[in-house]
Structure 1
């Protein structure tokens, strides 16, 4: 072998393959992307073949060619949304711009675009076409998933602008999620009492804290007695491991609730500092 390949871990924890070789006395290292090992080996073989033929591997790299703007002559005269999605998919796949899981998520999302929109010329697609698709997409999905679909499609249209297929993106004036968010439903007092009866036992404390303080399951299982502040009747939520990465103090709705929680400390027989002393937090977080 005239070249070598290696991996490097990046910030998001994924592995990026690199190929190293020497051409005309200069040592080079080039990123192959987030690809499978067999794909990296295939690129290494291509580099070795170029070196044997005296060619510059970088000039004939499929990654370099993919970064070049498509030749206008080779593009269809009328580019439809389906054509644009196919070209975008090929571009991000070859360049390793997305993790495999992200690429799979995008393909699943774009697979829901109706045929009437896919066959429409790119320059004729307007705000209302895309809004209608997002509204249909959100019929069976939450607002967060719809917002992600919005971001995916926005990326595609911005890419089309970069490659001179469009001059303006119709996604620019669309709200993050055109689907109306449903009102949050809360439990009645009777329902809360019934839930506590059902949770009697291992899950009672977790459910009691969730009902009275509105904490997430992960925040509940990480609570220690140092986080329970008796003086001001509140529970402190640490920033570490928190979804929002910010700490906060959540006051108890009544003194009786705080007294109830403090009574658990004196009744605990296990030598633990956890407010919810269960054997495995993984079990609790999944079941809860």
Structure 2
């Protein structure tokens, strides 16, 4: 069996079209319900922070519990999250308000708040799928020796609800993979034990994503071949490559050049500019193997 693991946000969906609405809703909740400050204040702080990030993206990261899990420019949602995090973390009054609002934070109050805002305000939106998503999923589902799985950090309810709108046979959701969660105490059993992947002189990815590793390991425990398809490198892509799993990067309008260059030159990497090209890639790479027979 060949399992094609497709990232949900940004790969199957056009997340860049959702970000303005998600950002607006998040800022409204921050201003009115959490920080208790004028909306214009947080809107101005958000825009200033976002511009600063884009001026030097290699210097800024999505941080969870003090760990750097992604560079800020790797996704439309990621950029929004990092802008929110830095805007909040740099204002002591905001930090105090978050500590009061999230006293039992699973991570730190800032990361817990931005995680809350993301899931709260993406859930109710009617997602916009990429044009090729329905037919690409339909093709994968129709292959007798292929199982498509939809990868998400969410629990899966939002994903299942939105996928149902496509009127396709259900695809299994590989949820709660916590690609953003690092375990500093974990000794990685791959990559010669090296916990960091050096992409170039400005970018290094921490591979100690134990929960995500365990999810991928379970999927190939039955002897299946895996391939991962996603629109970003640090979260869903770097770990599979280090584990010897093929990774396809969907190049979008926001995909950083450094991600594309690394994946394109990796022996297990491939670049697609359109999700519609995925069936041809699958056939070309696996047609001669037992997986597709």
State the TM-score, normalized to the length of structure 1: 0.25
Quick check: which has more Rg, 1 or 2? 1
State the TM-score, normalized to the length of structure 2: 0.25
Choose between structure 1 and 2 for higher RCO, CA contacts under 8 A separated by at least 6 residues. Answer: 2
